[in-house]
Amino acid sequence: MGVVSAASLHPRKSSTIQLDRDTERMRALVAFTARSLRTPRPRCFGASIVHTKSGKLLLSALNNVAGEFDPSCHAEVRAIRRATKRLKQVSLAGFTLYSTCEPCPMCMSAALWADVDRVIFGATIEDATRHFRQIQIPATEVAERSDMLCTVDGPFLRDECYALFTHPAMLKAIRSWSSRRKK
């Protein structure tokens, strides 16, 4: 006889526990990201890497495209890079990536290449498009087109995550970036 998991015996209980964990982790990420709104360089994109089974936070990161003059320095990619370095391995199997916004195709691809178990996101690409340029390919589509396994769930706590985008400090920063663009 095979091993029977508690999840298969009590699917409702297991899904409720996972929902509670996801809510707790996403709220912690929103709080982490929101702290940047009180700084001279506010950011609305945050990501966390969390051990899938234990729920233990490995690390969190913010978008730093402008700070590093690197267009690939999105929060999800930064979190993945820092996590693999910290663990001294290229695989993040056994970990979940939480993001305040749906990962763009670059970030979702990085998550797939890193073998994360799950990606949980808050605001959608459509939400982000109201304020930033975006590539209009949903994270689920990127995952479906790959031969790598990864569960993508979202939007999750969408309103709380989108509030980061519409915070007055963030809107002021977005306006200043727009005025600096070359025409």
Which of the residues 76, 126, 141, 144 is marked catalytic? 76
Which neighbouring-strand residues pair with 19? none
Catalytic residue check, 76: yes
β-sheet with 95-101: strand ranges across: 57-62, 46-51, 95-101, 118-123, 151-153
Catalytic residues: 76
